[in-house]
Amino acid sequence: MLIVDGHQSRLDPKFVTYINNEAHEWQVCLSVPYATVLWQVGDASEQNGKFNMEWTRVKEWMMVWKRINCLPCTIGQTDIIPLINRVFHKAYGSINSNLKALEPAKSEVVRTQRTN
């Protein structure tokens, strides 16, 4: 399942044709445009900053490892997912940080409910 905001760019004919192709097993949910803050979990500057710091650290580690093992010092397509697996839980795996990231959305929902 893929969940995306309802921004106009998600309605590009090529994308819509691709996700509606019966040969693919995509289930795509489009949310309301410009309401990402209401449903996007874990989007706090603290978490994104942590991700960037850990991402830099793990890429440096990989370059050292490749140098030691006489491998080309490049990051290829097949390196990305293993690197993200090393970083993701450190940046986004904290319950406290996730709850903090939800606070703006929670406040917006409460404010919206009060005005309706």
What pLDDT, in 10s, does the model give residues 47-57?
A: 778 889 999 99
- Nearest-Å Rg of the Cα atoms of the chain is 19
Q: Is the pTM of this model over 0.75?
A: no
Burial of 85 (0-12, 13-18, 19+ CB in 10 A): exposed
* Cα–Cα distances in angstroms (integers) from residue 73 to residues 59, 79, 83, in the given order: 10, 12, 15
What pLDDT, in 10s, does the model give residues 60-115?
A: 999 999 999 999 999 998 999 999 999 988 888 877 777 776 666 555 554 555 55
* Cα–Cα distances in angstroms (integers) from residue 113 to residues 28, 106, 109, 110, 116, in the given order: 27, 11, 6, 5, 5
- Annotated domain spans of the chain: 1-34, 42-110
